[in-house]
Amino acid sequence: MNVPSQNLETIETDILVIGGGTAGPMAAIKAKEKNPELRVLLFEKANVKRSGAISMGMDGLNNAIIPGHATPEQYVKEITVANDGIVNQKTVMAYAERSYDMIQQLDRWGVKFEKDETGDFNVKKVHHMGTYVLPMPEGHHVKKILYRQLRRHRVQVVNRYVATRLVKDADGRVAGVMGVNSRTAELVLVRAKAVILATGAAGRLGLPASGYLFGTYENPANAGDGYSMAYNAGAELSGIECYQINPLIKDYNGPACAYVTGPMGGFTANSKGERFIECDYWSGQMMLEFYRELESGNGPVFLKLDHLAEETISEIEEILHSNERPSRGRFHERRGNDYRHRMVEMHISEIGLCSGHSASGVWVDEHARTTVQGLYAAGDLACVPHNYMLGAFVYGAIAGEDAAEYCASIDMPVPDPVEVAAEGERILAPLQCEEGITPFQMEYKLRRMVNDYLQPPKVTTKMEIGLQRFAEVREDMQYLKASDPHELMRAMEVHAILDCAEMAARASLYRTESRWGLYHYCVDHPETDDANWFTHVQVQKGADGNMSCFKRPIEPYIVPLDDAEKGAYGKLRIANTTSES
């Protein structure tokens, strides 16, 4: 094995899982269950005990498919309609068919779901058509339960390493990853037969309105590293133009939680306290109505709970202030926001890429395989629309099991030594830069430009100007300076954010129509154009090293829709209200 080894620590494993949040631990556990002989390594930027989107737990399942309440076919239909038809139904079905088994698995492990007096799961209706929301009022223990399973299955864990680029062998198979320790700046090469990317959303793309870089909806450790790694490895990404934009508490990055408060009588209201959308389920169409109301004379938008009974409000507070984003109570206290006495102002989030909520991700098939041999993707990063936490668990399981089988059939690939050496130089460059630009400044400028030029409503010329600004930032990269290993981590993240920004602009420019409500609302192409754009849009690094976009046809549906169903998410505004924008 002629990999350059001077000062380069090399670890060898069979399956490498990158990202220890939600999908990643499940992938590692299921790979070990499939074949306990395999070496499985979980590689994490933070610490798997408290990393990722559910570091403080989760207050419910948004997409539980429980017999008696919903069927996989109904769910596939719902998501197809909610995502304006642009889905590979096989991938959604692969999730749907395993959804209930996964709930039972988590239940056995000790995750507490809400049950009724007979012991059945207490499912609530939030979606426009079906019934899929299962509360987890005590869901703050999820990470501890996952960690226990990681230990039990003897998964090897490496914390505080930032994965920066995948490496491949001479045949184009994935051969491992290069990474750097965020406390010591030590480089590592992890060699593996299969790699599962589970690095979460690209959450540090847009800049929150507050200007605080880390006040993002997503855990800001999820900077888009996986999107950038998949792109640079030549994998196809899909639906990047279908951004994630969420309705949040104004200035606070927690959701207003239609899923928690909706079933208990709370709703999204305008300044008059009136309901203006029929369904609070997060879809692009709902976000467009939200945006219109926000910008209208009836704006801004509020979460209305002040009409509810004291017992109900106390229960809502108990759930919202102890799960997922527990500092919310502290935020409200300082502002004097009491759900009992007044509505809480809401706003829309910065843009991000996240398949868990919308549809922007690394292209995978129903086995979680990407278009690069040996490379898998699962969770918020993998393009299975509206997949949420339970989808991350299911796709983690699918990826882990499939990778375990794949490993058995191949020898350890040999990474290209030129690629390895080049990546080592790229990683260390900011430490060697004597005077330059700090990661903080470069990130701030880049993300401010993302807001100025990419945030919907999208305008062609603005996005073209954005691309020019991004190209200038790319030239500035040579001056990126890190004064310690921590700043080096931030510097590597700026590279990833820049790749994501460019992908977001190019995919959005390529799709010359409007679709998914606000997510891809193009002012100069306002109509949905099914004749030309009923298709996936893929982004890939071309043979010339430049970013290219192309169409990938939609696979024939396995669950057909009738015409009446297709329009269900197109009519979310309540009939007797009109926005005054």
Taking the least distance from each CB to other proteins, the nearer of 49 and 426 is 49
Kindly list the distances between the CA atom of residue 59 and the CA atoms of 62, 374, 470, in Å, as whole numbers in the listed order.
Answer: 9, 34, 38
Taking the least distance from each CB to other proteins, the nearer of 89 and 219 is 219
Taking the least distance from each CB to other proteins, the nearer of 385 and 439 is 439
Taking the least distance from each CB to other proteins, the nearer of 414 and 482 is 482
Provide the token pair at 227: 């999107």
Taking the least distance from each CB to other proteins, the nearer of 462 and 474 is 474
**CB of 147 vs other proteins, minimal distance in Å:** 11
**CB of 51 vs other proteins, minimal distance in Å:** 5
Write out the DSSP string of 470-535.
HHHHHHHGGGB--SSHHHHHHHHHHHHHHHHHHHHHHHHHHS-S-BTGGGB-BTTS-S--HHHH-S
Neighbours of 441 (CB within 10 A): 14
Quick one: CA torsion of 155, 159, 162, 166, rounded to 10 degrees? -10
Distance of CA 39 to the CA centre of its chain: 27
Residues 6+ apart with CB under 8 A from 422: none
How many angstroms separate the CA atoms of 456 and 522, rounded?
7
Rounded to 10°, the helix 328-335/310-320 angle is: 120
- What is the identity of the amino acid at 109? W
Taking the least distance from each CB to other proteins, the nearer of 93 and 496 is 496
**CB of 569 vs other proteins, minimal distance in Å:** 31
**CB of 438 vs other proteins, minimal distance in Å:** 6
Taking the least distance from each CB to other proteins, the nearer of 352 and 413 is 352
**CB of 476 vs other proteins, minimal distance in Å:** 11
How many angstroms separate the CA atoms of 461 and 191, rounded?
44
**CB of 538 vs other proteins, minimal distance in Å:** 31
- The DSSP element (H or E) to which 312 belongs, if any, is helix 310-320
Taking the least distance from each CB to other proteins, the nearer of 293 and 324 is 324
- What is the identity of the amino acid at 334? R
Name beta bridge partners: 176. Answer: 167, 191
Provide the token pair at 145: 């339960």
DSSP state of 568: G
Taking the least distance from each CB to other proteins, the nearer of 73 and 186 is 186
**CB of 234 vs other proteins, minimal distance in Å:** 29
Taking the least distance from each CB to other proteins, the nearer of 57 and 361 is 57
**CB of 92 vs other proteins, minimal distance in Å:** 29
Helix (H, G, I), strand (E, B) or coil at 180: strand
**CB of 327 vs other proteins, minimal distance in Å:** 4
Helix (H, G, I), strand (E, B) or coil at 70: coil
Q: Which residues bind other proteins (CB under 8 A)?
A: 46-47, 49-52, 55-56, 160, 182-183, 210-216, 219-221, 251-253, 325-327, 330-331, 334-335, 435-438, 479, 481, 483, 486, 489-490
**CB of 337 vs other proteins, minimal distance in Å:** 12
Residue 348: phi, psi to the nearest 5? -100, 150
